Chain A
Amino acid sequence: MQSKQYSVKVYECSIDDEERFMSFFDTNYTLFKDHLIVINGYLSQNIKDYLNSKSLIFINNIKLPKGRSRRALEEEFEAQRRESDIDKIIAETKLEKLSKRLQNNLTVLDDIIRSGRELNIDGDLLLLNRVNSGATIYTTGNLIITQLVEGSVRCDGNFMILTTSSKANVIFHGEEIDNSFLEDRLSRVELKNQEIVITPVFKKEINWVS
């Protein structure tokens, strides 16, 4: 694209008396010949012909951009810059939160969670030990427990992987999960299209060919 910028002198007027207008232009022709003539209001054929005969450039009924002081321009520019700074900060925090969500604040624990202990984890939890009867665990993120769960577990994450005994109480996204699905084998509980899906991580029995 090619573009050029001009500063043009503009003479703006409206016409009441055509005779007077023409005589005024006749006398001041030298002054107006480099101007852009803007005529507001009604423009008759008579005047058009007159202006054309003088080869003056004119336009009718146009709203001219009003010029502003340098100071006002600077203020506007400053405000724009500030706004873009704020936008940048907002974008950065959004990015940070997103990365947090991706990492999910993983907590790794190798404690045996004994009766009476209450764990409230904001984020993911990887627990490498038992959850005994009478203990409570709540995570906002995903949950993986490699040993037997006999206590109470509540998880609001995308998935959890655990094995329970018949004593355990498991709640996933507010829904109580029947223990018989999770007993004696590692199972994955996850949310798929608003439905809770339970799949065994690996099968315990291997049927050998006899």
Chain B
Amino acid sequence: MGIVIAVISGKGGVGKTTAVANLGLGVAMNNKACAVVDFDIGQRNLDMILGLENRVVYDIVQVMDGEATLKQALIKSKVNDNLRFLAASQIKDKRVLNSKKVYKLVKELKDSFDYVILDSPAGIESGFEHTIEFADAAIIVVNPEVSSIRDADRAIGILDSKSQKVKDGGEVAKYLIINRIVANMVQSGEMLKSEDILDILNIKLVGKVPEDSGVIDASNQGKPVILDKHSIAGQAYKRISARLCGKKVDMKDVEVSDSSLFKKITGIFK
């Protein structure tokens, strides 16, 4: 029985898909069976970033409709045997999803993997709602800017009201990744400080990713940046992945480390 993590942001273009690709690979590198699923139906991106564009035969909609088995549709990563990928449909749109189908698929994935990472579409429409519906935890990706924070805030609000786990009386664990931080802009006060973001969103921080020009090149080449040993963003994703696997990793660029945060993270993944 694995854990289902939805990666959401509210606003588009903050680096959700990049985060999913890197975290999926990072978790797989920690010897966990991991599946990454592209839920952005109609706007398939994750396959390109993972470099699996030419391997896609069956997609998520075909699996849900029974036209293909999950085994047939899961694509094995070129770089890590622990990682599998399920592509979104590029032809259909998100209206084809319904709760029953999503539940069946998520359950099947959960039974055969340690980690299931769902890449949510941007916005707060039905596609987003289906992604978070059966998730055990959510990773919220934000950029240090006001519009991203407000959209993320809204997304968290919906997560807290529409998730199945909440409806059953539980709580969805929520973790924050602050992406594309430019250190000297934060220092000069042009960019929001992490403390302010945490103040507003009031969820646990799982990692900060600095701005790195290597990310775009890595995405274009289909080699997630986590594979680049010299990339600062890649190193950040490596640390976050280790934390997701329950390892204690110090916050490198955080002034005050929160020891209870690690306890909580390891706690929910047991």
Q: Which 8 A-B pairs have the closest CB atoms?
A: A114-B157, A115-B153, A115-B154, A116-B154, A114-B153, A115-B150, A132-B153, A112-B202
- 19 pairs of residues in contact across A and B, judged by CB atoms under 8 Å: A112-B202, A114-B153, A114-B154, A114-B156, A114-B157, A114-B160, A115-B150, A115-B153, A115-B154, A116-B154, A116-B158, A130-B199, A130-B200, A130-B202, A133-B146, A133-B153, A134-B150, A134-B154, A148-B199
- Shortest C-beta distance, A109 to chain B (Å), equals 14
In this complex, the member of B150, B153, B157, B200 whose beta carbon has the largest number of chain A beta carbons within 10 angstroms is B153
Is A124 in contact with chain B by the CB < 8 A criterion? no
Q: Can you add 16 more A-B contacts, CB < 8 Å, to A130-B199, A150-B200?
A: A112-B202, A114-B153, A114-B156, A115-B151, A115-B154, A116-B154, A116-B157, A130-B200, A130-B202, A132-B150, A132-B153, A132-B200, A133-B149, A133-B153, A134-B153, A134-B154
Chain B residues whose C-beta falls within 8 Å of the C-beta of A129 in the assembled complex: 202
Report whether A115 and B157 are in contact in the complex, using a CB–CB cutoff of 8 Å: yes
Chain A residues whose C-beta falls within 8 Å of the C-beta of B199 in the assembled complex: 130, 148
Is A117 in contact with chain B by the CB < 8 A criterion? yes
Chain A residues whose C-beta falls within 8 Å of the C-beta of B151 in the assembled complex: 115
How long is the Cα–Cα vector from A99 to B200 in the complex, in angstroms?
38
CB-contacts of A70-116 with B (<8 A): 112, 114-116
How long is the Cα–Cα vector from A83 to B270 in the complex, in angstroms?
72
Chain A residues whose C-beta falls within 8 Å of the C-beta of B153 in the assembled complex: 114-116, 132-134
Report whether B150 and A117 are in contact in the complex, using a CB–CB cutoff of 8 Å: no
- Shortest C-beta distance, B167 to chain A (Å), equals 17
Which partner residue on chain B sits nearest A114 by CB separation? B157
How long is the Cα–Cα vector from A134 to B158 in the complex, in angstroms?
14
Give per-residue flags for B140-175: 1 if the beta carbon is below 8 A from chain A beta carbons, else 0.
Answer: 000000100111011011101000000000000000
Sorting the interface of chain B by its residue count into under 10, 10 to 19, 20 to 34 or 35 or more gives 10 to 19
Give per-residue flags for A116-155: 1 if the beta carbon is below 8 A from chain B beta carbons, else 0.
Answer: 1100000000000110111000000000000010100000
- Shortest C-beta distance, A117 to chain B (Å), equals 6
How long is the Cα–Cα vector from A150 to B201 in the complex, in angstroms?
12
Chain A residues whose C-beta falls within 8 Å of the C-beta of B157 in the assembled complex: 114-117
How long is the Cα–Cα vector from A129 to B150 in the complex, in angstroms?
17
How long is the Cα–Cα vector from A148 to B202 in the complex, in angstroms?
13
- Shortest C-beta distance, B158 to chain A (Å), equals 8
How long is the Cα–Cα vector from A148 to B157 in the complex, in angstroms?
18
Which partner residue on chain A sits nearest B160 by CB separation? A114
Give per-residue flags for B44-79: 1 if the beta carbon is below 8 A from chain A beta carbons, else 0.
Answer: 000000000000000000000000000000000000
Chain B residues whose C-beta falls within 8 Å of the C-beta of A112 in the assembled complex: 202
Which partner residue on chain B sits nearest A111 by CB separation? B160
Which partner residue on chain A sits nearest B202 by CB separation? A112
- Shortest C-beta distance, B255 to chain A (Å), equals 22
CB-contacts of B106-160 with A (<8 A): 146, 149-151, 153-154, 156-158, 160
CB-contacts of B185-206 with A (<8 A): 199-200, 202
In this complex, the member of A112, A115, A130 whose beta carbon has the largest number of chain B beta carbons within 10 angstroms is A115
- Shortest C-beta distance, A19 to chain B (Å), equals 106
Chain A residues whose C-beta falls within 8 Å of the C-beta of B158 in the assembled complex: 116
- Shortest C-beta distance, B189 to chain A (Å), equals 15
Chain B residues whose C-beta falls within 8 Å of the C-beta of A114 in the assembled complex: 153-154, 156-157, 160
- Shortest C-beta distance, A14 to chain B (Å), equals 91
Chain B residues whose C-beta falls within 8 Å of the C-beta of A130 in the assembled complex: 199-200, 202
Chain A residues whose C-beta falls within 8 Å of the C-beta of B150 in the assembled complex: 115, 132-134
How long is the Cα–Cα vector from A116 to B202 in the complex, in angstroms?
16
Which partner residue on chain A sits nearest B146 by CB separation? A133
- Shortest C-beta distance, A20 to chain B (Å), equals 102
Chain A residues whose C-beta falls within 8 Å of the C-beta of B154 in the assembled complex: 114-116, 134
- Shortest C-beta distance, A187 to chain B (Å), equals 20
How long is the Cα–Cα vector from A204 to B153 in the complex, in angstroms?
29
Chain A residues whose C-beta falls within 8 Å of the C-beta of B202 in the assembled complex: 112, 129-130
How long is the Cα–Cα vector from A39 to B153 in the complex, in angstroms?
96
- Shortest C-beta distance, A163 to chain B (Å), equals 13
How long is the Cα–Cα vector from A112 to B151 in the complex, in angstroms?
15
Give per-residue flags for A29-68: 1 if the beta carbon is below 8 A from chain B beta carbons, else 0.
Answer: 0000000000000000000000000000000000000000
Chain B residues whose C-beta falls within 8 Å of the C-beta of A134 in the assembled complex: 150, 153-154
Chain B residues whose C-beta falls within 8 Å of the C-beta of A115 in the assembled complex: 150-151, 153-154, 157
